Structure 1
Amino acid sequence: MNLYYSVFKWNGISKDMTFVGFDNFKKIFTNDPLFIKSAMFTLKYSVFYVIIVNIISLAVALKLAKQKKKNSLGRAFYYVPYLISLTAISLIWKFIFGPGFEALFDMTGWQFFNWSWVGTPKLAFYVVVIMTVWQNIGFYMVTYIAGIIGVPVDVLEAARIDGASKGMVTKKITLPLIMPSISICLFTSLTFAFKLFDVIMVFTKGGPANSTISVAYNIYKEAFTNSSYGLATAKSLVFFIAVLVVTVIQMRVTKSKEVEA
């Protein structure tokens, strides 16, 4: 049905639908700079988010998993934010970067707190990254810990007896053996980044100056604000194909590493 609607000019409500063929798809690539801008934001955000959240989550998992006693409180500290909805998280951080920072600036006088974090395009981008990374660290941490715990202890002990340093053991043994966990985390973080919507909807609404508008939010606005349902479905198809290609490539690469490991 999505494919069917994509070749029509339709507002999503009226019974009258005008067949336009591939005009919707042509418009996306030749006469829709906002969609291109949203695609660039989504791509940039995905790169930053996937790299940062996986590095931090893996580092935390390695630290917590190596502790002799299970640090339940430590794990809960990182995992609890994941249980809170992104909508609530967005409202909390909206307060932090607004009245919260204003109060801190009055107390300390530090200009850092007086910056227009949400009103400046470059800063607003990093606010979105920081917010979503903080919220999701716990989920990926748990996945990594499950993989690390599954690494055979005798293999690690043999490496240490042979004189391997902690860094070498992690690099040459632990990381290759937890590649299935890495594959899962990369896949889930990548799909999350591509589907980013809640934070944009509640926190930035695509601003300032459309600098934080994601593809998902752009499609939503096209369908339900601009009443261009046909164009929105065409965009969703293009987006679906792009996400499919990227995720298939990512899964093939990580799976090949699993086989090698």
Structure 2
Amino acid sequence: MKAVNLIPMDARRGAGAPDRSGGAVYGVLGVLGVLAVIAVLYGLTARSLNTQEEQLAQLTADSTTGVAAAAALEPYVRFGQIADEREQTVATIADQRFDWGLAMREIARVLPGNVDLVSLDGTRQGATAAAGSDTAAVGAPQITMTGCATSQASVALLMARLRAIQGVDRVRLESSSKGGEAGAGASSAGDCRAGDEEKPQFTMAVIFRAAEPAASAQAGGTAEPAAQSGAAATAPQEGSS
């Protein structure tokens, strides 16, 4: 027959008796392990945050220092910009220079003896010009003169001589009329005919080339007046009206 142990399991002794602690010990050890891992992760995370905060503080300090340095250098930057702007302005003015004195001397040199001038006005053409119109190029120097001559032939001779000046683009006659004609052409400079109805008063414009001003005559020599170079041969003879 098979022996049967009638002693309850919890009252038994010896090797056959089960462990009273059961799996509780393993559970405690597992909890402790988890807590240890959490503690290590927390420490690592806290250390990383501290490092990042230190880096952020350093970057903030560097940024503040950089802004202060940039503000301190701002006047020098502005000074450099002003210097560049003035250099460009000077270069623009230099490119647009024109020897008005030389132009006046050339006009005086070719002026016929029977022509009297009462006004000279030197200007530059504006920024706009109507397409196809008889206007000078943008920035072209122009001298407008008003005077009197003994005849219309003298006015034509003056125009021919003025065209012979080096650097002149064209000569435009604004008006030329005698004292008895309608719209006598008297300008704001006054009537220089002194009551002589046979003496014409004229207004004409001498327009120079902007790219080749009269100042270039210093390097290439001045052009001879039309009367001396033979160009006056096409002008009306003195004494015709």
**TM-score, normalised with respect to structure 1:** 0.21
**Which has the higher Rg, Structure 1 or Structure 2?**
2
- The structure whose residues are more often strand, as a share, is 2
- The structure whose residues are more often helix, as a share, is 1
**TM-score, normalised with respect to structure 2:** 0.23
